[in-house]
Structure 1
Amino acid sequence: MKNLRFTMMTFALIFMVMTACSKQQDNAASTSQKDVNGVVQDSSGKTVLYWYDPMTPGQKFDKPGKSPFMDMQLEPKYAETNDANASNNSADNGVIISSQSVQNLGIRLEKAGNRSFGEALSAIGRIEPDERRFYAVQTRIPGFVERLFVRAVGDPVVKGQKVAEIYAPELLAAQQEYLALLTLNDIDNDGSLKQAARNRLRLLEMSESEVVGITKTGKASIRFGVYAPASGVLAELGVREGGQLMAGSSLMQITDLSQVWLIAEVPEKDAARLKLGLAAEVR
Structure 2
Amino acid sequence: MNNKLTSLTFLLLPLLVALSVMMAVIVPGWSAESEHKGKPLFYRNPMNPAITSPVPAKDDMGMDYIPVYPDNDNSTGPAGTVKIDPVLIQKMGVRTGMAMERTMSRLITTPARVAFNEEGLAMVHSKFNGWAEQVMVNKTGEQVTKGQTLLTIYSPELVSTQEEYLLALANARVLAKSSMKEIREDARRLVRATRKRLAYFDIPEKVIRRLEKSGEVKRDLPIDSPFTGTIIDIGVEAGHFITPKQRLYRIADLSTVWVYAEVYEPDLPWIHKGDMAMIKVASQPGKKFSGTIDYIYPYEEGKTRTVKVRLIFNNRDGRLKPGMFADIAIHADRRDKVLAVPSEAIVRSGAREQVFVVTGPGIFEPREVVTGVEADGYTEIIRGLKQHARVVTSAQFLIDSESKLNEATAKMLEAGDPNKKSANKQVNDMSGMNMKNQEDSMQGMDMGKQKNDMPGMDMGPAK
TM-score range, shorter chain: 0.5 to 0.7
TM-score (norm 1): 0.63
C-alpha distance 253-118 of structure 1, shift in aligned 2 (>3 A): closer
Residue 233 (structure 1) aligned to one of 230, 233, 245: 230
Distance across 1 between alignment mates of 2:175 and 2:245: 35
Cα RMSD for the two superposed structures: 4.2
Tell me if 1:52 matches 2:49.
Answer: no
- Match among 106, 111, 116 for residue 97 of structure 2: 111
Paired residue type of 1:75: Y
In structure 1, C-alpha distance between the alignment counterparts of 2:254 and 2:82, rounded to whole Å: 59
Of the candidates 132, 138, 143, which is equivalent to residue 151 of structure 1? 138
- For 1:30, the equivalent position in structure 2 comes to none
1:1-283 correspondence to structure 2 within 5 Å: 41-43=32-34, 45=35, 51-54=43-46, 56-58=48-50, 64-66=55-57, 75-76=65-66, 94=82, 109-114=95-100, 120-184=107-171, 190=184, 191=187, 192-266=189-263, 268=264, 271-272=267-268, 274-276=270-272, 277-283=274-280
- Greater C-alpha radius of gyration: 1
CA shift for structure 1 position 250: 1.8
Structure 1 residues 117 and 57, CA gap change in structure 2 (3 angstroms): farther
Task: Map Cα deviations across residues 221-273 of structure 1 (whole Å, 9 max, x no partner).
Answer: 0111112222221122121222221024221122122322111244x365436
For 1:275 and 1:249, how far apart are their aligned partners in 2? 42
> 1 CA distance for matches of 2:153 and 2:218?
11
Aligned sequence identity (%): 24
Whole-Å separation in 1 of the counterparts to 2:192 and 2:106: 70
**What SS does the aligned partner of 2:227 have?**
coil
Partner AA of 1:165 in structure 2: T
Unaligned ranges ≥5, structure 2: 1-30, 177-182, 281-463
**Distance (Å, rounded) in 2 between the aligned partners of 1:253 and 1:58:** 76
Which shows bigger deviation, 166-175 or 235-244? 235-244
Residue by residue over 1:160-202, the C-alpha shift from the partner in whole angstroms, topping out at 9 and shown as x without a partner, is 2222211111101211233334444668952233333222222
Superposition deviation, residue 159 in structure 1: 1.9
Match for 1:180: what amino acid?
Answer: L
Total equivalences in the alignment: 229
Shift of 1:136: 1.5
The 8 Å contact of residues 182 and 194 in structure 1, kept in 2 or not, is answered as yes
Name the CA shift for 1:265/1:168 in 2 (closer, same or farther; >3 Å). Answer: same
The CA deviation string for residues 57-109 of structure 1, in whole angstroms up to 9 with x for no partner, is: 13556x64248x98977621689xxxxxx99699975177997xx97xxx863
CA distance in structure 1 between the partners assigned to 2:204 and 2:243 by the alignment: 20
Could you say if the C-alpha distance between residues 110 and 87 of structure 1 is closer, same or farther in structure 2, counting changes exceeding 3 Å? Answer: farther
Contact 2:230 2:254 in 1 (8 A): yes
8 A contact 2:44–2:68 mirrored in 1 = no
Q: Secondary structure at the match of 1:234?
A: strand
Q: CA deviation at 1:118?
A: 9.7
Once the two structures are superposed, residues 188-218 of structure 1 have per-residue CA deviations (whole angstroms, 9 ceiling, x without a partner) of 9522333332222222222232122122222
Preserved contact between residue 140 and residue 204 of structure 1 (Cα < 8 Å): yes
Q: Distance in 1 between matches of 2:250 and 2:131?
A: 18
- TM-score calculated relative to the size of structure 2: 0.41
Amino acid at match of 1:94: V
* 1:137–1:251 Cα contact (<8 Å) kept: yes
- Between the aligned partners of 1:161 and 1:259, the Cα distance in structure 2 is 21
- The higher relative CO (CA closer than 8 Å, separation ≥ 6) is in 2
Aligned mates of 2:83, 2:108 — CA distance in 1: 36
Find the residue that maps to 1:141 and give its secondary structure.
coil
Worse overlay, 230-239 or 270-279: 270-279
Q: Is the 8 A contact 1:51 1:74 kept in 2?
A: no
Task: Give 3-state SS (helix, strand or coil) of 1:235's partner.
Answer: strand
AA aligned opposite 2:135: L
